[in-house]
Amino acid sequence: MPTRPDLIARLTQAGIIAIVRAPRAAQVEPLFGALLAGGLNAIEITLTTPNALEAIREARAKIGARAVTGVGTVLQAEDCRAALAAGAEFVVTPVCRPELVAIAHAAGRPIMLGAYTPTEAQTAHEAGADFVKIFPADKLGPGYIKALRGPLPHLRLVPTGGVDVPNVADFLKAGCAALGVGTALVSPALLQAGDWPELTRRAAAFVAAVRAAREGAFSH
């Protein structure tokens, strides 16, 4: 079983964490397959997915180590415990929930606490969060991340909301540990149509953007 440091490293290396709000649990397997085919191997199933716990179990059973499968939109301790018991390999909250850190760490799993302000981000870090999810990031942009990391360079920030292929490089250059991507990758229309080839194409575009940004950073 991978350790918490192993999982942290895999999420950071992935660069993109796909956020899945599937309307039907039956879509989880083809959805994962399409993302993996595009090179994305860090996937968060939100608790807003019908039968989310069963979806996590199914993904872990059928996908196994090919992807790091986590749970998102976690607000309550009992939901956190249930998702971890179902096999979730990381936990993500939309808001700052410091009380969930001990639960995730006791299971040997990393946790990403949600924050919006500098105070919330530092509070999440001091609570022991492995990552801090900046949400919603669509109105804040890469400039906010850069400003935040000026006085708080120790934060492992993961912006979510507003991340798209054209701004991947800007967010990574601003110092993000990884990027959470939802509708820009797995849109409701795409899920409705079950257009898995298009999802693979989008996943590959995000992977290519991360690679190009990192290669650009290393070449300077």
Residue 128, classified by CB atoms within 10 Å of its CB into exposed (0-12), middle (13-18) or buried (19+), is middle
44 is catalytic: yes
62 is catalytic: no
CA 53 to CA 88: how far, in whole Å?
9
CA 182 to CA 72: how far, in whole Å?
11
As given in the structure block, the two tokens for residue 185 are 């990758």
Give which of 110, 68, 118 is closest to 93, Cα–Cα: 110
Query: What's 160's DSSP letter?
Result: B
Pairing outcome for strands 157-159 and 42-46: unpaired
Other beta carbons less than 10 A from residue 9's beta carbon: 14
Q: Please, where are the H alpha helices in 39-195?
A: 52-63, 77-86, 101-106, 118-126, 141-149, 168-173, 188-193
Active-site residue, from 44, 58, 78, 139? 44
Active-site residue, from 54, 120, 133, 215? 133
The letter for the amino acid at 36 is L
So which residues are the catalytic ones? 44, 133
